A and B are shown apart, each in its own frame.
Chain A
Amino acid sequence: DVVMTQSPLSLPVTLGQPASISCRSSQSLVHSNGNTYLSWFQQRPGQSPRRLIYKVSNRDSGVPDRFSGSGSGTDFTLKISRVEAEDVGVYYCIQATHWSSGTFGQGTKLEIK
């Protein structure tokens, strides 16, 4: 079974400063078709998760360009270049390559310092 591990679990950030979240998987997320199905989601309080990034580094429509994703294989990172107040919430990395167990990390709670 694939285990997704995020760090840190809590991320206090000053407005306007950058933020970075790490996600590691216990197995490679490269699918047999060559794609890497690693996404990043944001969950604001009281809302369902919203996708920000898909296939490692592709930003969804309407997502501000201050969000970026990178990585390969088993190590991935979500970066926010300048944190804004609306970025408060919990961020999850979610893999869709392996399906025999859960597909997401524990979540990283971003708060404004």
Chain B
Amino acid sequence: EVQLVESGGGLVQPGESLRLSCAASGFTFSGFWMSWVRQAPGQGLEWVANIKRDGSEIYYMDSVKGRFTISRDNAKNSLYLQMNSLRVEDTAVYYCASPGDYWGRGTLVTVSS
């Protein structure tokens, strides 16, 4: 059974940092592009970042460039998102996904003072 399990979400103040992790199982993780996608309360899906199978290509949405870093460890079947300088508008459920195939259940990040 395919599983993507996110962790690391929580409540932080503006300007603080969080690191999200995603543990993958049940498929050949190293064979897939992976993404972080977020969804603010009551809103649609919003793409955050993509990383190629071997990590050699990385793309970010404009509003997170310079603040967020996506990475992966294929030996550990894991995906990460380091989020720095968090803003109120980053509040959302963050999904780990290979968007055309598999999605996790998400982890909630709340940025509030």
Contacts of A104 in B (CB 8 A): 37, 45, 47, 99
Q: Contact at B105–A96, with CB atoms within 8 Å?
A: no
Q: Contact at B100–A37, with CB atoms within 8 Å?
A: yes
Q: Contact at B101–A99, with CB atoms within 8 Å?
A: no
If A54-B100, A106-B44, A107-B44 touch, whether A48 touches B105 (CB-CB below 8 Å) is: yes
Give B39-73 as 1s and 0s: 1 = Cβ < 8 Å from A's Cβ atoms. 00000111100101000010101000000000000
Query: Which residues of chain A from 59 to 105 have any CB-CB distance to chain B below 8 Å in the complex?
Result: 90, 92, 94-96, 99-104
Query: Which residues of chain B from 93 to 112 have any CB-CB distance to chain A below 8 Å in the complex?
Result: 95, 97-101, 103-106
Minimal beta-carbon separation of A15 from chain B (angstroms): 25
Closest to A90 in B: B44
Q: Contact at B99–A94, with CB atoms within 8 Å?
A: yes
Q: Looking at chain A, what size class is its interface with the partner chain?
A: 20 to 34
* A8 interface contact, C-beta 8 A: no
If A99-B52, A103-B35 touch, whether A94 touches B44 (CB-CB below 8 Å) is: no
Q: Contact at A103–B100, with CB atoms within 8 Å?
A: yes
Minimal beta-carbon separation of B102 from chain A (angstroms): 8
Minimal beta-carbon separation of A23 from chain B (angstroms): 13
Alpha-carbon distance between A41 and B97 when the two chains are bound, in angstroms: 13
Contacts of B100 in A (CB 8 A): 37-39, 51, 54, 94-96, 103
Give A24-50 as 1s and 0s: 1 = Cβ < 8 Å from B's Cβ atoms. 000000000000011101010000111
A54-B100, A99-B59, A101-B59 are known contacts; what are 19 more A-B pairs with Cβ within 8 Å? A39-B100, A43-B45, A48-B95, A48-B104, A49-B45, A49-B97, A49-B103, A50-B103, A92-B45, A94-B100, A95-B100, A96-B33, A96-B98, A96-B101, A100-B59, A101-B47, A104-B37, A107-B44, A107-B45
Q: List 13 A-B contacts (CB under 8 A).
A: A37-B100, A39-B100, A39-B101, A48-B105, A49-B95, A54-B100, A95-B100, A96-B98, A99-B57, A100-B59, A101-B61, A102-B46, A104-B99
- Top 9 A-B residue pairs of the complex, sorted by shortest distance between their CB atoms: A96-B100, A102-B47, A107-B44, A39-B100, A103-B99, A48-B103, A99-B50, A49-B103, A94-B99
